[in-house]
Amino acid sequence: MVHTTLWMRVFQFFIRCWSRFGQCPGCFWLRGAAAASGLALTSALLFSPGRAMADITTNTPQDAVASPLQAARAKQAAADAMQALHREEEWMRVAKYLPDIDTSSSKELETAGDVLRARRFPEEALEFYLAAYRHGANKEQVLNKLGVTELILHHPDRARAYFRLTLKQDKKNSDAWNNLGATEYVDGRYPASVSDYRRALKLNPASSVFHSNLGTALIGEKDFSRARKEFAAALELDPEFGTRSSDGGISAHVLSAEDRARFCLEMARIFATKGKIDAMLHSLVLAADGGMNLSDAIYDDPILGKYSKDSRVVTIISNAKAMKKTSMASTAALAPLPAETN
């Protein structure tokens, strides 16, 4: 019964992939790829159901030569199929409201791209942005959105090209300079990133996002004192900065995983200076979660060091140490994966 239900759900996924051919003419090739993936998985289950289903539902091989690695891969394949099915259901809820990509106005197409990007369908968003561009939308605005979407898809070269095209349309577009800086930051080109952010700020000095991004680029250059000044400027412009998340609209607001802990520590320092103790404690927790060694960072800091004996800070440090020990013990306890055999 379990086998039949799982097979039917995967087969249902294939049928839904196929049905999407008519939903979005501009996305034909994407639908075809999705349908082909569904067909391949369905065929595998249809023509070898015994072994495939046993591997997926019980994680145990049907014969003595099947390795634990193969069983793990089968289990992951099942999980991926379920995730794809859920995404398909989410897409169907969105697709029925999308305008016709060939006949709709540029404004409708651009709005559809915004919705798709917000709903985490960046590939489809690109299709609608390109259609909006062809239908006469504001060029620099759409080019900027195309660049941000490519940045979401981890295509920095494409994103850079779109932002440069935007700047070719208007050299005083502060969002484009900021987004170009974000692209250079993602690529690890911190000096270029700092330069681009400064040009954005020269055009729009009142943007907290631009100040924040410049601060992150300065962290990349290990210039922590100047980074603090930029974060402080961002906080002056936006008192909620550092305490809530935001995608910055069409202005990319980025921070690499390795710099996030340092960013949180610097924010804790700024909050401490301003007497915002709750925000400081929250930032210290985030810094610890990011792997920051709070013991050394706090005790050696002239501002945070004042709180080194505060019971709340002591608890945060103790919890961070305990979590680190637990993580190391769990990693050490993991058995190595067996070597794959042909």
Note the pLDDT tens digit of each residue in 290-320: 788 888 888 888 888 889 888 998 898 888 8
Distance in angstroms (rounded) separating the CA atoms of residues 298 and 306: 8
Q: What is the pLDDT of residue 243?
A: 57
**Between 334 and 122, the higher pLDDT residue:** 122
**Between 52 and 155, the higher pLDDT residue:** 155
pLDDT band for position 199 (cuts 50, 70, 90): very high
pLDDT at 334 over 60: no
pLDDT at 148 over 50: yes
Per residue in 188-198, is it b (16+ CB within 10 Å) or e — as a string?
ebbebbbbbbe
pLDDT at 100 over 90: yes
Average pLDDT, the chain: 75
Distance in angstroms (rounded) separating the CA atoms of residues 271 and 76: 43
User: What percentage of the chain exceeds 70 in pLDDT?
Assistant: 66
**Can you give the residue ranges of every domain in the chain?**
260-326
Distance in angstroms (rounded) separating the CA atoms of residues 308 and 320: 14
Q: What is the pLDDT of residue 331?
A: 47
Distance in angstroms (rounded) separating the CA atoms of residues 285 and 294: 9
Q: What is the pLDDT of residue 168?
A: 93
Tokens standing for residue 256: 């690499």
Q: What is the pLDDT of residue 89?
A: 80
pLDDT band for position 326 (cuts 50, 70, 90): low
Return the top range by mean pLDDT from 116-120, 142-146, 235-239, 254-258: 142-146
pLDDT at 271 over 70: yes
Distance in angstroms (rounded) separating the CA atoms of residues 122 and 128: 10
Per residue in 1-21, is it b (16+ CB within 10 Å) or e — as a string?
eebeebbeebbebbebbbebe
Q: Are 183 and 147 in contact (CB under 8 A)?
A: yes
Give the mean model confidence (pLDDT) for residues 197-205. 96
pLDDT band for position 129 (cuts 50, 70, 90): very high
Q: What is the pLDDT of residue 254?
A: 56
Task: Indicate the DSSP class of residue 126.
Answer: H
Strand, helix or coil for residue 138: coil
Q: What is the pLDDT of residue 175?
A: 92
